[in-house]
Structure 1
């Protein structure tokens, strides 16, 4: 069993690594950009805001995809605009 314990312990992430990853996430999320006050944000808040941000990005991608589909449906397939859109999608 000692080999089992040693294998699982090598896969564990240290507190320092978790803190580093949370800090990196915090820098990526616009709502959590460090302000001039430099107040500390909890890891739970960083994770919640990250999830919310990813959900917003998914909705935005879905909305843009819908708009593109509508645009393509209303564009003559032989027009210059359609050719540009097709080239951008490739």
Structure 2
């Protein structure tokens, strides 16, 4: 096999792998985003995934701050109810 054929085969394999990874990333998005991204470029899918990750990161930070504030403000002699913490973490 010539080097140009190997190069083409390698490039096709990389493109296929990238497409598969994009599909997997897209499947991790909420349904409304997946519907919007059905026929868009790989760049747009990556932008949407990055935006979603930033949104999730902010939600985690906000929830962590809320839990921390509740723990700090709680009476140290009071045991915090596990159900209350579970509810806060599910928001």
TM-score after normalising by structure 2: 0.66
**Change in 2 beyond 3 A, CA 1:69/1:39:** closer
Greater shift after overlay, 47-56 or 72-81?
Answer: 72-81
CA contact (8 A) 1:32 1:46 kept: no
Alignment partner, residue 34 of structure 2: 33
Aligned-pair distance for 1:69?
A: 1.0
Aligned residues: 73
Would you say 1:60 and 2:59 are equivalent positions? yes
Deviations 1:30-63 (A, max 9, x none): 143247xx94121011100011011111111110
SS in structure 1 at match of 2:77: coil
Q: What residue ranges of structure 1 are gaps of 5+ in the alignment?
A: 1-9
What do you get for the CA RMSD once the two structures are aligned? 2.7
Q: Which has the higher contact order (CA 8 A, sep 6+)?
A: 2
Which segments of structure 1 move beyond 4 Å, counting only runs of 4 or more? none
Q: What residue ranges of structure 2 are gaps of 5+ in the alignment?
A: 1-9, 87-91
